[in-house]
Structure 1
Amino acid sequence: MTLAPQSASTSTKSINDPVTDPASKNMSSTLVYDIRNSRYLNITGRCTLRCQFCPKHNGSKQVHEYQLDLNHQPKAEEIIPLLGDVENFDEYVFCGYGEPTLNLDTLLTIAKEIKHRGGYVRVNTDGLGNLFHRRNILPELAVCVDALSISLNADTEQAYIEHCRPKLKNAYQSVSEFIRLAPGYIKNVQVSAIDGLEGVDIAACREFVETSGAEFKHRMLGVVG
């Protein structure tokens, strides 16, 4: 997911420079940042989970050299001028230290603009967007999202609650259903689980994901971004 922040401007920036917002004199928000040849879009600090393994719950809001703490919830008009040339990036990824579907209108507006310019859009999500919004948001995402990366992280509800500490009831059932539904709407769906979490059966996670028609991604505890 996740240099000293620099103020956003209309001047030309290096592809590897973080793009920030000068709303606060004390702390600027990194709204756009680059890892390898992907441009990441940091659109919310809110989340539906409190994962015990997440760096932000362990004293850090940094990924690589980027500080991803936000001092406000960005709107589409703040992000769109910072997209750059789509030809310079393999993909645009909605991913920060929050759950991007919680800022859904902003996500959809930006994603549609990227698609209009010919870019490729991926959303990193905890798969709880349907539960949070109380509707199936996959048809809305399907209009402008090429790929989903969904975090599962557990093969049982007990392990999910222990490690991911969801804020919403029935979260494990909801993410499981989201994973089953997603391949029917989005062509490229990848679902991850983290090896190293106590009581999690990685083989069982893989079997569930592949049976659902998605690709499984085997992640290792402590490796971010």
Structure 2
Amino acid sequence: MTILYDYKESLYVNITNQCPCSCVFCIRKETDHVGNSDSLWLNHEPTVEEVKEEFKKFNLEKYDEIVFCGYGEPLVRINEVIEIAKYIRSISDLKIRINTNGLSDLIHNKKTAMLLKDNIDSVSISLNAPNKTKYNEVTRPKFGEKSFDALLDFAADCKEYFEEVNFSVVDEISSEEIEEARKLADKMNIVLRVRHKN
């Protein structure tokens, strides 16, 4: 079972396979691993203690940052993310980032960005589309129509609490839609990254 895995210069933390979205471009539909990792499908959700034990097997000096991102939405387990981030802080000065779909407020039915503010350095939010219609089409969130607005609200909250907040879109959408997403990101003063599907 793969809890921690290398990808480029980062160490990734895979703590859940749960996700409220079913994105049309999701890598989980095509492969069970990222880079040279073993399968990222978990046979159970690891406890905080299990994650801590995994960290003892890695030389953290090799990495530029630690990223909560695996084959699920990490903020489904927001309490565990916070506990693990506190542990990372106690053993390392590495930057800690969360890659998220931005639907944490809907998952937990409350505002959540402020819960992360003392333990996370940066947040990357999968914007995926420039508007609600396209977002629902490509992301297929279980929360339906309210999802896109909730994502934008979460992003605005993150801007209050974190110095570094990014949006990302996958080049699965058209160049015109990417440009529209860039305008939305600029309006919110958030950097937009374009990810390549392959």
**Please, what TM-score do these two structures have when normalized by structure 1?**
0.81
> Which of 108, 122, 128 does residue 82 from structure 2 map onto?
108
| Root mean square deviation of aligned Cα | 1.6
**C-alpha separation between the residues in 2 aligned to 1:88 and 1:155?**
37
| Contact map agreement 1:114 1:120 (CA 8 A) in 2 | no
2:2 is paired with a residue of what secondary structure?
strand
Aligned to 1:24: none
Per the TM alignment, residue 200 of structure 1 is displaced from its structure 2 partner at its CA by 6.4
Pair 1:122-2:93 in alignment:
no
Q: Percent identity?
A: 33
Give the AA of the match of 1:102. V
TM-score, scaled to structure 2: 0.91
Aligned position for 2:48: 76
Match of 1:42 among 14, 39, 44: 14
Structure 2 residue aligned with 1:51: 23
Higher helix share: 2
Unaligned runs of at least 5 residues, structure 1: 1-28
Report runs of 4+ in structure 1 exceeding 3 Å deviation: none
Distance in 2 (alpha carbons) for counterparts of 1:203 and 1:125: 22
Which residue is 2:166 aligned to? 190
Matches within 5 A, 1:54-65: 54-56=26-28, 58-65=29-36
| Map 1:186-225 → 2, pairs under 5 A | 186-197=162-173, 201-220=177-196, 222-223=197-198
Matched, 1:146 2:121: yes
Task: For 2:119, give the aligned amino acid.
Answer: C
| CA distance 1:103–1:183, shift in 2 (3 Å) | same
Aligned length: 193
* Cα distance change on mapping 1:200 and 1:177 into 2, 3 Å: farther
2:69 match:
95
